[in-house]
């Protein structure tokens, strides 16, 4: 059997990366015996990780934040374009040596010329908003393409001045942020390289009145795909370029270097990448059948992350949290790991102790959750099994509540060893009432009508979510 060509992306965090989905698409399309993984590597572990590349038989890597700028000392050779940009996003391994380059500028310019084929650098000045790492790739690519003038504008002028100082090119003119609207006069291209306008970030406040209608407006943000800037520009007739194409085009040279095949960036790839991983939150009160419903999703080939199970594994024998929990709460360690009953007697009812425990467990659970998302690449949806989903405000695309009549719930719970009516009532008092959960849910699974009925409900939920996704109605 031919050896698998292994590649991947390195970042911290890295679960957000679209690269595994992107490269996985090309690998499957061209029938290449390769794999592209996601590696969550903390900054202080980067050097050691790269040192072991030969052992891992990896032929290449992408780098994402925060590694692109700090990786230089760990590479054997870095090309001129990466040094100009000040960042490496692609590593190729040849005979045990690590070669670094940067394809962000290539991705930016290729996307621009594809989306606006009549644009030419010589047509006029460009206004670039932002002076961070993305701006450097934009500046270098435009300077090399022959742009006559770059008006560099950043909210903090000092940062823009420092960037201009690095390149020492008379074509770069630094302007004040408050003058951004008037500096659009006679510009042939406007580029937003900031995060303003991205989902979860403040909007980009700019008046486009002075911008010629013949100018191209390019927003490197791709979440959302159609930012307010692009909406405003499109409404006045400007040609608009979104940031997704830059992401896709910057990946192509790396894929070709690693696998020897130049991949195609087309509308089918865009559509595939835009189909995001759907997160389904699964919850239900004690005794409702949530755990069994989670197994039904797994049997339907939907990966499930069990939050309670993650905590159990961390505190089981040889679990990653055992030594830290024992140090914080002496005497709770037993032969099989942390004695949860003993720990509970020390924690519950004591707010300060509970916060101390959460400070230990929450980051570890977060790491396990990140690993789960990395391993789920290639699936279109996952389930997060979260007992207190509504109480904790967990972020999910859909919510599924498992429910049964109170009499059924009571019978199930009281049949458990060491469970009493008093304990049951105490647990219920600390949870959101089932009726309220049902009202908040997108879907409800009735667990009192038999396994076959519940399995059918789960399958219907999966099919309906996929149908909504394909129609663009929800995601």
Give the pLDDT confidence of 10-24 residue by residue, as tens digits.
988 776 678 888 998
Q: What is the pLDDT of residue 472?
A: 46
Confidence of residue 204 (pLDDT cuts 50, 70, 90): very high
Give the pLDDT confidence of 165-187 residue by residue, as tens digits.
999 999 999 999 999 999 999 99
Determine the Cα–Cα distance for residues 155 and 410; give it in Å rounded to an integer. 60
Determine the Cα–Cα distance for residues 229 and 215; give it in Å rounded to an integer. 13
Greater pLDDT, 86 or 427: 86
Determine the Cα–Cα distance for residues 122 and 130; give it in Å rounded to an integer. 22
Asked which of 52-56, 376-380, 470-474 is least confident by mean pLDDT, the reply is 470-474
The predicted model gives 399-408 an average pLDDT of 95
Among candidate residues 147, 122, 150, 120, the one with its CA nearest the CA of residue 135:
150
Q: Please tell me the CATH code under which domain 106-242 is placed.
A: 3.40.50.720
Residue 453 has pLDDT above 50, yes or no: yes
Among candidate residues 53, 55, 353, the one with its CA nearest the CA of residue 63:
53
Asked if the bond preceding 224 is cis, omega within 30° of 0, the reply is yes
CB 151 within 8 A of CB 130: no
* Mean pLDDT estimate for the chain: 90
Q: What percent of the chain is predicted at pLDDT more than 70? A: 96
At the topology level, CATH places domain 5-101+248-274 in Rossmann fold (3.40.50)
In sequence order, what are the residues at sequence separation of 6 or more whose Cβ sits closer than 8 angstroms to the Cβ of residue 358? none
Give the pLDDT confidence of 35-88 residue by residue, as tens digits.
898 888 999 999 999 988 866 789 999 998 889 999 999 999 999 999 999 999
Determine the Cα–Cα distance for residues 264 and 44; give it in Å rounded to an integer. 36
Residues annotated as catalytic (active site), given as ranges: 68
Q: What percent of the chain is predicted at pLDDT more than 90? A: 67
Neighbours of 128 (CB within 10 A): 27
Give the pLDDT confidence of 75-106 residue by residue, as tens digits.
999 999 999 999 999 999 998 899 999 999 99
Q: What is the pLDDT of residue 475?
A: 37
Q: What is the pLDDT of residue 473?
A: 43
CB 399 within 8 A of CB 281: yes
The predicted model gives 268-272 an average pLDDT of 81
What pTM does this model have? 0.62
CATH 3.40.50.300 holds for 276-303+378-475:
yes
Greater pLDDT, 301 or 104: 104
SS3 66: coil
Q: What is the pLDDT of residue 470?
A: 58
């Amino acid at each position: 059997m031919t050896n698998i060509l292994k590649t991947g992306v390195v970042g911290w965090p890295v679960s957000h990366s679209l690269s595994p989905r992107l490269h996985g698409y090309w690998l499957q399309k061209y029938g290449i015996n390769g794999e592209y993984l996601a590696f969550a590597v903390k900054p202080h572990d980067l050097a050691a990780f790269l040192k072991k590349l030969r052992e891992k038989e990896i032929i290449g890597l992408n780098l994402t934040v925060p590694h692109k700028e700090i990786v230089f000392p760990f590479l054997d050779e870095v090309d001129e374009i990466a040094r100009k940009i000040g960042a490496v996003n692609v590593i190729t391994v040849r005979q045990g040596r690590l070669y670094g380059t940067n394809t962000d500028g290539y991705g930016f310019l290729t996307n621009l010329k594809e989306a606006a084929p009549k644009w030419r650098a010589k047509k006029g000045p460009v206004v670039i908003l932002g002076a961070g790492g993305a701006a450097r790739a934009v500046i270098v690519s435009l300077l090399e393409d022959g742009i006559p003038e770059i008006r560099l504008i950043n909210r903090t002028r000092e940062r823009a001045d420092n960037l201009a100082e690095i390149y020492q090119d008379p074509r770069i003119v630094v302007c004040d942020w408050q003058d951004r609207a008037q500096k659009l006069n006679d510009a042939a291209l406007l580029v937003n390289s900031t995060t303003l306008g991205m989902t979860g970030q403040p909007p980009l406040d700019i008046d486009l009145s002075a911008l010629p209608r013949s100018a191209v407006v390019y927003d490197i943000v791709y979440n959302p795909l159609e930012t307010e800037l692009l909406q405003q520009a499109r409404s006045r007739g400007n040609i608009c370029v979104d940031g997704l194409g830059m992401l896709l085009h910057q990946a192509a040279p790396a894929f070709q270097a690693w696998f020897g095949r130049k991949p195609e960036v087309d509308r089918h790839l865009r559509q595939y990448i835009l189909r995001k991983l759907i997160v389904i939150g699964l919850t239900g009160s004690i005794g409702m059948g949530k755990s069994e419903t989670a197994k039904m999703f797994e049997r339907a080939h939907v990966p499930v992350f069990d939050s309670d199970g993650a905590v159990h594994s961390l505190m089981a024998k040889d679990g990653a949290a055992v030594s830290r929990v024992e140090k914080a709460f002496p005497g709770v360690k037993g032969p099989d790991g942390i004695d949860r009953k003993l720990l509970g007697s020390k924690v519950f009812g004591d707010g300060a102790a509970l916060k101390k425990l959460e400070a230990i467990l929450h980051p570890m659970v977060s790491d396990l959750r990140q690993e789960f998302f990395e391993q789920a690449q290639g699936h279109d949806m996952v389930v997060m099994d979260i007992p207190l989903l509504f109480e904790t405000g967990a972020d999910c695309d859909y919510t599924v509540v498992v429910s049964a009549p109170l009499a059924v719930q009571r019978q199930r719970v009281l049949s458990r060893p060491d469970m009493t009516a008093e304990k049951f009532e105490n647990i219920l008092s600390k949870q959101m009432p089932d009726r309220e959960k049902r009202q908040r849910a997108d879907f409800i699974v009735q667990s009192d009508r038999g396994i076959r009925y519940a399995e059918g409900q789960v399958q219907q939920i999966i099919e309906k979510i996929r149908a909504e996704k394909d129609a663009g109605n929800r995601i």
